[in-house]
Structure 1
């Protein structure tokens, strides 16, 4: 096994020499003490043998003494417990590498790693690569590039010099690990160091001497260095496809997903291979960490793997038990994937409730807005989540960006829910709009204000601005026409200003920006009738009223709303034929509300249905709600007729038909 002789390299490289200044300020006695304690038990278990420490150069003694360590005289016998490790290179075992790696992982800064290495005389290549990897992990958390003091550190230069000059003797693991670490540390891609390592990797790749793990690591490294279009990457993927998936570890599978994600535009070329990976991954889900799960889900989204729903569902179940272990960014990826694939699970919702309520004040605003967006998309009315988020927004509203504010508030309107602190919530929102109105993108602002109107928090102070020609021009942008949904929202807001805010005397919405109907196939502000439920009610009404001509279906009103069933009454309470327009004294609007008009698994109307019923009442209709959950409890047609009679005529003793 090749090894990195740190001090010897330092002696050969005069340009790396800093006369002890860099290391003099970094005490290592405490590090050496801990290292001795960790390794002493293994050394003592070996047969005590005497060996000599050979000083190869005069400058070696100066280097060693400047760090406060006196050299043993040549020829003096010492035991293996001392810090000189030349015999370690020859007798190292796997358990010793594990001890070394555990020690590396305990360090919290690159300086500690380098101080630790300064106590070593020789270092096997796998350990040298491990040290580089640990420096990479520590330095890429907060900074994009390696600090100057690390780059100029003589020990760090010695490590790099060994990899640069002698890459051929390195093991496969050491080679690809060193390349990966140096790329992540943003070492100059044109440097001799990286070019030599890449060339050696390509030689071994062409010889077919790299194993699965090495291929995955090399693939990710080359993507970072040369981009997803590099020719070598195709060769790596070809070799990986020839390998048996049973030989892949869970880490290899996750890395493979990341590689394919980087080549998302070529997904069609690799779809057969992807299908095999998706099926094989089902057996590995239980072994995946929170980080791995979030990365796989992100890759499935980028690769549009809608056919991999069994894998998404199984990953979703695993997420439930690991939700406390996700970082804010990872949880955001999970939520984005669940929204993309339409995944919704009761156990996940419960776990999410516990997570959000426990940590809401410490969660990242982006994650909070994602949680609310997820609830809004899947129509999940979770009062614990909504209440906790409302409380957080009141306390920390300044942390949220305009798009995040919109994602946070919209679900309240969509799901027709007011939290206990609604007054404080919307007062805080109004203050933010007053001070940052111009920072909100036009369409985002329109969605936000429309959501407020759904739950009777009417944005009266901002209506004049959004109905103004200047705002409408901004809303349209460079498009020839405003999109249908934006026009519908504007129209409903304008209708709200007329019906629910009669005191509003500001700018009015021009007729060319108003729609004729809120019920459209692609972007509707109303939910279409449930056809099966409508048929049941229709037959019951025919039995009750005596003929089909006494009621009309899908009636469009002058106020853009479509009524499911309309019944007309004269002044004496007689039911009139639907075609008669004279002598109409009262109009009854039957709202035949199927499951899609309610929050799932509840009897809570959605916001767009609640505002519709309010507005129908304000324009003179008597609204009668026929919810599906009441109709489902009826066991016969006779019960249905009696139910409709109670709903329609129980308070009108003088009604006739």
Structure 2
């Protein structure tokens, strides 16, 4: 049975050959790695020797009996050394710092050559060689190119310095040299030294002889040299797996930063990280935690365990979070689709601690987006948003400013296409969550002022969202309906594409709502939509309707129970599609809706703004809406008597 599953992981030979360039020192192969329930096909490095080819490392500590059969292995990995000695980062001595200071004070390349000639062989260490290479590159960028070409000793000096770095055994200097030389690759006779430098970095990274931070820097350099998602960098997961015990709060940000750069091995690196994170998550600083969130989101990874850990960290470190840190955290949880009671309390505590007057509009918009994303009808969050909007309305922009969108380099805050305006987010949150602002007059006056002053700055969808949110709260935008139902505005609605039908539906819903509810509105303004098109329906509600229909027929006083179709007086939208229709004993017609949890406030059965609007519109049509929570009815299916009683109560209470 297991063999059948393994047949899915057959390596594609054409892809394997393209992973690495042909090399006399390294080849490549593919193995199957099982990590818990995860079985993954991963590329591995293979070192070529005179008569043998073997996979570098066995993803564990180096044992002497593993390398006795090959002299090449014993030459490249000294098994007598301790692992901590192999990855130790050495600090420069006082003599090295003094020599580097002399290099810094020199003003010409020729002076550096003379200074190197006077130094002893022991004085030219790998650390000094790297600083000399950097200083030579800095001075050559200032001097005339012809003067640099006249220096015949340049090739010999650079070759000697690079050879010192390669043979010095200082891993930190080796990685720093590779990071520096990736932008200044030597030409001519020095190209072989560059290839040797790259091979040594790859070899030591794959065999676990570098630290986690050093491996991350090597992968970033390979990414810069070889392009997006370098195939060579994908092989270095071996070294990360070997040195997994080194992962801690100081290098986890470096490790996470390489996840977007890996194509095949990012999952195994992520699982390795998750194995170590529970042992130190409370030690993370706000910048480190935000870097982890940003990199994991950019790599398209994530897990429920990671979200729970980060929620606990956010609750623990709330007093250390700046507003930008909070925006990054909320954006991460919104993108991951994770919310629990602890996270909701964290957002409420932050609002109480900071106060409404000290928050920035971008932070208020982030809190409103968070509440809107998870249908959190929290009085603390929504009152904070409405009060801040009224008292600081001059600080809100019609569209997000470039500074707030950039977010200090966090990719979580860089949204493309451009983010909706902060005004739109705040108004939508109050309208769709059915929360009346405390200062209704001041709030809607501020909304009207923003629309009148910056109507053209809002996108067409933002204008429709603001108008619909006002309708949900029974504040009708009569002063702007002539601007909305205007040929110039309708030209801004795309004629085709994925957004066209959504915007047309919102426009029809606004026209229909104003026609039914607003006496001063002379509508409808739009012609009736007679086009033949389909609309998506919730499959959960459709399946449950077949089960509920027989029980509804058994309710006393209910007749003509049948599946419902679209209501011709209302827009063709899933919100206006009843699941069942029936008649009561008094002859009134009922429309039964099985509402999924997304149409109620989180943790309650309070209907959101669109459901409240639907009830009012059906009442205008002489119909009664029976709203039933889908999750509650699904639990009652196994108890027919209880289900019939619930249906009878809902039918009797329908108005």
Q: What range is the shorter-chain TM-score in?
A: 0.5 to 0.7
For the residues of structure 2 that align with 1:651 and 1:607, how far apart are their CA atoms? 18
Offset at residue 539 of structure 1 (A): 1.9
CA 1:240 to 1:462, structure 2 compared with 1: closer, same or farther past 3 Å? farther
Structure 1 length-normalised TM: 0.62
Q: Which runs of 5+ in 1 are unaligned?
A: 18-56, 58-89, 91-123, 133-161, 577-585, 653-657
Residue 445 (1) aligns with residue 463 (2) = yes
Question: What corresponds to 2:396 in structure 1?
Answer: 399
CA 1:532 to 1:600, structure 2 compared with 1: closer, same or farther past 3 Å? farther
Residue 317 (1) aligns with residue 334 (2) = no
Question: What corresponds to 1:278 in structure 2?
Answer: 274
**1:589–1:623 CA contact under 8 A, matched in 2:** yes
CA 1:373 to 1:534, structure 2 compared with 1: closer, same or farther past 3 Å? farther
CA 1:549 to 1:650, structure 2 compared with 1: closer, same or farther past 3 Å? closer
**Cα offsets for 1:471-524 (capped at 9, x unmatched):** 2332216x3586433222111101112111131237812334x8899x9426x8
Q: For residue 558 of structure 1, give the secondary structure of its aligned residue in structure 2.
A: coil
**2:589–2:624 CA contact under 8 A, matched in 1:** yes
Q: Larger C-alpha radius of gyration, 1 or 2?
A: 1
Structural mapping, 1:173-252, within 5 Å: 173=172, 189=183, 202=198, 205=201, 208=204, 211-216=210-215, 218-219=217-218, 222=221, 226=225, 229=228, 234=233, 237=236, 240-241=239-240, 243-252=242-251
Q: 1:356 aligns with which of 351, 355, 358?
A: 351
CA 1:651 to 1:520, structure 2 compared with 1: closer, same or farther past 3 Å? closer
Residue 521 (1) aligns with residue 536 (2) = yes
Residue 562 (1) aligns with residue 574 (2) = no
Offset at residue 338 of structure 1 (A): 1.4
For the residues of structure 2 that align with 1:417 and 1:235, how far apart are their CA atoms? 50
Structural mapping, 1:293-442, within 5 Å: 293-306=289-302, 308-359=303-354, 360-397=356-393, 398-402=395-399, 403=420, 404-442=422-460
Offset at residue 619 of structure 1 (A): 1.7
Question: What corresponds to 2:619 in structure 1?
Answer: 617
**2:211–2:243 CA contact under 8 A, matched in 1:** no
Offset at residue 575 of structure 1 (A): 4.7
Number of aligned residue pairs: give it. Answer: 490
**1:220–1:258 CA contact under 8 A, matched in 2:** no
For the residues of structure 1 that align with 2:240 and 2:278, how far apart are their CA atoms? 18
**1:487–1:515 CA contact under 8 A, matched in 2:** no
Q: For residue 251 of structure 1, give the secondary structure of its aligned residue in structure 2.
A: coil
**1:494–1:508 CA contact under 8 A, matched in 2:** yes
Q: For residue 603 of structure 2, give the secondary structure of its aligned residue in structure 1.
A: coil
CA 1:4 to 1:474, structure 2 compared with 1: closer, same or farther past 3 Å? same
Structure 2 length-normalised TM: 0.62
**2:212–2:246 CA contact under 8 A, matched in 1:** no
For the residues of structure 1 that align with 2:349 and 2:102, how far apart are their CA atoms? 57
For the residues of structure 2 that align with 1:459 and 1:238, how far apart are their CA atoms? 58
Residue 542 (1) aligns with residue 554 (2) = yes
Residue 464 (1) aligns with residue 475 (2) = no
CA 1:432 to 1:596, structure 2 compared with 1: closer, same or farther past 3 Å? closer
CA 1:550 to 1:375, structure 2 compared with 1: closer, same or farther past 3 Å? same
For the residues of structure 2 that align with 1:463 and 1:591, how far apart are their CA atoms? 31
Q: For residue 4 of structure 1, give the secondary structure of its aligned residue in structure 2.
A: helix
For the residues of structure 1 that align with 2:628 and 2:439, how far apart are their CA atoms? 32
CA 1:493 to 1:16, structure 2 compared with 1: closer, same or farther past 3 Å? farther
**2:175–2:217 CA contact under 8 A, matched in 1:** yes
Tell me which moved more, 455-464 or 609-618: 455-464
CA 1:501 to 1:646, structure 2 compared with 1: closer, same or farther past 3 Å? same
CA 1:374 to 1:413, structure 2 compared with 1: closer, same or farther past 3 Å? same
**1:599–1:606 CA contact under 8 A, matched in 2:** yes
For the residues of structure 1 that align with 2:579 and 2:203, how far apart are their CA atoms? 72
Superposition RMSD on alpha carbons, in Å?
Answer: 4.9
Residue 289 (1) aligns with residue 299 (2) = no
Structural mapping, 1:97-108, within 5 Å: none
Offset at residue 346 of structure 1 (A): 0.3
For the residues of structure 1 that align with 2:289 and 2:580, how far apart are their CA atoms? 49
CA 1:381 to 1:508, structure 2 compared with 1: closer, same or farther past 3 Å? same
